[in-house]
Amino acid sequence: MTAELQKGRMGPQVCLLGLLALFVAGKCSYNPEPDQQRTLPPGWVSLGRADPEEELSLTFALRQQNLDRLSKLVQAVSDPGSPLYGKYLTLEDVAELVRPSPLTLHTVQKWLLAAGARNCQSVTTQDFLTCWLSVRQAELLLSGAEFHRYVGGPAETHAVRSPHPYQLPKALVSHVDFVGGLHRFPPTSTLRQRSEPQVPGTVGLHLGVTPSVIRERYNLTAQDVGSGTTNNSQACAQFLEQYFHDSDLAEFMHLFGGNFAHQVSVARVVGQQRRGRAGIEASLDVEYLMSAGANISTWVYSNPGRHESQEPFLQWLLLLSNESALPYVHTVSYGDDEDSLSSAYIQRVNTEFMKAAARGLTLLFASGDSGAGCWSVSGRHQFRPSFPASSPYVTTVGGTSFQNPFRVTNEIVDYISGGGFSNVFPQPSYQEEAVARYLSSSPHLPPSSYFNVSGRAYPDVAALSDGYWVVSNHVPIPWVSGTSASTPVFGGILSLINEHRLLRGHPALGFLNPRLYQQRGTGLFDVTHGCHASCLNEEVEGQGFCSGPGWDPVTGWGTPNFPALLKILIDP
């Protein structure tokens, strides 16, 4: 990036490029996100047009290079049968591979300078550029955009977005994938507190899921904790305008962490950690990542880069592209309906996951809390897959319940567990055999018109998602449920396995899916009973997919049996 762009100065080429900007309003323009849904999410309301002089932060996703090579490298470093297995790329290696062409960098920089963009910041990989412009400048730059102020969500979050599509000069068609900060709204939590199940008697029963219940079910002993002698670390990311409190974490560990070594504070917070009331989901993520992955250094990405015109999830991706040393395991409880996002955005985010996989990072995403989902297309019901859960480059975690809700028993499907088949991504080769076996053997398949049989199928694994205890704002809260709970639990267990690998001088697990599917469920408890929710119509009557032996699109390969999983994953 040029020095003058970093400083936001204008160059002598302004007049020439001002003419180019005029093409935006004419026939020589294009919309990079024609399929981006722009309907207002439930619970959000418009406060009217934004002030023309209000400052906006917009992120420009620059076209990358060598994506076919990147894909092949990810496959090589993630496949145990490859001689390159575990030989991960550095951030600098990735940058060298995907960095936009000099022509792309030059063209986009000159265009932004001409528009008056200032304080532009790039990332190490040079494929994102975040700049500040006034609303007036942004609306001139992005023809058709019209910025409004909105408020919504449980936290009364404020956002500045455009309800209308934007256009870019056709001269940029091969240089810009999309512009972030126009359409996508901050996510809202699907976490829920269920009513307490009623059963007679209490002898030998537990009263909800706690770290001791997790450790008993998944066969973790008091010795199964981090050693404190490695550079092992783990992270969770939060985008809900929610925050955790160190005092809640300390209280949680005081109540529930007495029988295993643990840390009582987060090692590093990236982003804003405001005061005020803690959020249940933020508290849950931190407390269960740090109790499953006990005594391991933990980072929290807390609404990174939050500004009313920014997309928190996109800002997190930028951070991954700008930090050389990152935690090995990242757990994220974020998702959107695939159909609500533009193809350009989804494909580019998927590439960001490829970059992470090439570097040996394990990304775990919650599968969602809507079962198979449901929506109507041309008057016909279909299941509704979720993204990033449907990305082929992340490990997606579904949810289970105890067969007896008050005993540490076998697990069954939690009916909310998200799962299904992508309508965007084709089925990756690593899962073709497992999916074909399920489709040919399941006695309870929904009608084929409801799902894309050839799409990426998810989840990959699962863990308990029902009936957790959480401490938030100094209050112990029972019966909290959602795949936002199962995801940090599985992530913490993978961090413990990384600990053993690092002590043996092995690399971290990295992108797990190719190895996971090769092992055909070894080291996991198979979940074979139950179905998840879907469309409430006469044809499927609220039932989506059902679990069965082996992999299924409700609980994946199953839930972790720590000693068995450690045994097969500890060595290359």
Q: How many domains is the chain partitioned into structurally?
A: 2
Instruction: With beta carbons less than 8 A apart as the criterion, state whether 384 and 372 touch.
Output: yes
Rounded Cα–Cα distance for residues 165 and 262 (Å): 49
**Residue 315 falls within a domain, yes or no?**
no
Around Cβ 411, how many Cβ atoms within 10 Å? 27
In a domain, residue 159? The reply is yes
Give yes or no: residues 534 and 460 share one domain: yes
Regarding whether 476 and 386 lie in a shared domain, the answer is yes
- Considering the domain architecture, whether residues 118 and 175 belong to the same structural domain is answered as yes
3-state SS, residue 330: strand
493 within 8 A of 378, measured Cβ to Cβ: no
At 16, is the secondary structure helix, strand, or coil?
helix
- Same structural domain for residues 371 and 511? yes
User: Does residue 517 share a domain with residue 445?
Assistant: yes
Are residues 543 and 464 part of one domain? yes
Beta bridge partners of 158: 151
- Amino acid sitting at position 375: W
**Domain-located, residue 53:** yes
Q: 450: domain range?
A: 211-306+363-570
What pLDDT score was predicted for residue 305? 43
Q: How many CB atoms lie within 10 A of CB 81?
A: 9
End position of a domain, from candidates 131, 164, 180? 180
- Please check whether residues 167 and 228 belong to one and the same domain: no
Domain end among 158, 180, 202: 180
One domain for residues 115 and 216: no
Residue 336 inside a domain? The answer is no
In tens digits, the chain (572 residues) has pLDDT values of 443 344 333 333 333 344 344 344 434 688 888 878 777 878 889 899 999 999 999 999 999 999 999 999 999 999 999 999 999 999 999 999 999 999 999 999 999 999 999 999 999 999 999 999 999 999 999 999 999 999 887 667 788 899 999 999 999 989 999 999 888 877 666 665 555 554 444 444 668 999 999 999 999 999 999 998 889 999 999 887 778 999 999 999 999 999 999 999 999 998 877 666 888 989 999 999 999 999 999 999 987 445 665 688 888 999 999 999 999 999 998 889 999 999 999 999 999 999 999 999 999 999 999 999 999 988 899 999 999 999 999 999 999 999 998 899 999 999 999 999 999 999 999 999 999 999 999 998 999 999 999 999 999 999 999 999 999 999 999 999 999 999 999 999 999 999 999 999 999 999 999 999 999 999 999 999 999 999 999 999 999 999 999 999 999 999 999 999 999 999 98
**Domain closes at, from 180, 203, 224:** 180
What pLDDT score was predicted for residue 8?
34
CB distance 121 to 17 below 8 Å: no
Within a 10 A sphere around the Cβ of 528, how many other Cβ atoms? Answer: 17
260-278 as b/e, with b when 16 or more CB fall inside 10 Å? Answer: bebbeebeeebbebeeeeb
Question: Is 195 contained in some domain?
Answer: no
Residue 334: predicted pLDDT: 85
Query: What is the distance between the alpha carbons of residues 234 and 495, in angstroms, rounded to a whole number?
Result: 7
503 and 426 inside one domain: yes
Q: Does 527 appear as a known binding residue?
A: yes
Rounded to 5 degrees, φ, ψ at 305 are 65, 25
Q: Residues 520, 469: one domain?
A: yes
Residue 206 located in a structural domain: no
Q: Length of the chain in residues, anyone? A: 572
Name the residues annotated as catalytic. 281, 285, 484
Does 276 share its domain with 129?
A: no
Reported pTM: 0.92
CATH code, 383? 3.40.50.200
> Are 63 and 104 contacting, i.e. CB atoms less than 8 angstroms apart?
yes
Does residue 562 belong to any structural domain of this protein? Answer: yes
Edge to edge, what strands does the sheet with 157-161 contain?
A: 44-49, 148-152, 157-161
Q: Are residues 45 and 127 part of one domain?
A: yes
Question: Annotation-wise, does 552 bind a ligand?
Answer: yes
Nearest to 293 by CA among 325, 330, 320, 238: 330
**What was the pLDDT predicted at 242?**
76
**Would you say 550 is a known binding-site residue?**
yes
Q: Is the residue at 395 inside a domain?
A: yes
